């Protein structure tokens, strides 16, 4: 049973490391998004459809990241459930 406890702790630590890394990545994305939006609003030479394309790309990227996070969370939850069943 000590091995199972060690495995649970490793999984918990791995999940925490992923969550922290993901949160840092999303913080960097938000900062870059603000900087890029400032650039887009100040650049007069970029056509409106180009600005819209960039905005759509940023929305798609964020949506993809959020979906990735949901899938990873679901995988960690499934692993936790399996380990809990083994513990019982």
What's the longest Cα–Cα distance across the chain?
Answer: 66
pLDDT at 48: 86
What's the CA gap between 9 and 82, in Å, rounded?
Answer: 14
Give residue-wise pLDDT tens across range 19-70: 999 999 999 999 999 998 898 888 888 888 888 998 999 999 999 999 999 9
pTM, 2 dp: 0.84
Write phi, then psi, for 46 (nearest 5 degrees).
Answer: -85, 125
pLDDT for 9-27, tens place per residue?
999 999 999 999 999 999 9
CA dihedral over 70, 76, 82, 87, signed as positive or negative = negative
Would you mind telling me the total number of residues written for the chain in this entry? 88
Mean pLDDT of the chain: 92
């Amino acid at each position: 049973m000590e091995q199972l406890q060690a495995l649970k702790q490793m999984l918990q630590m791995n999940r925490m490391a992923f969550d922290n890394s993901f949160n840092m990545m999303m913080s960097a994305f938000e900062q870059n998004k603000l900087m890029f939006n400032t650039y887009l609003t100040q650049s007069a030479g970029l056509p409106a459809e180009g600005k819209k394309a960039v905005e759509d790309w940023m929305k798609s990227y964020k949506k993809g990241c959020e979906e990735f996070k949901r899938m990873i969370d679901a995988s960690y939850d499934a692993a936790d459930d399996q380990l809990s069943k083994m513990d019982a």
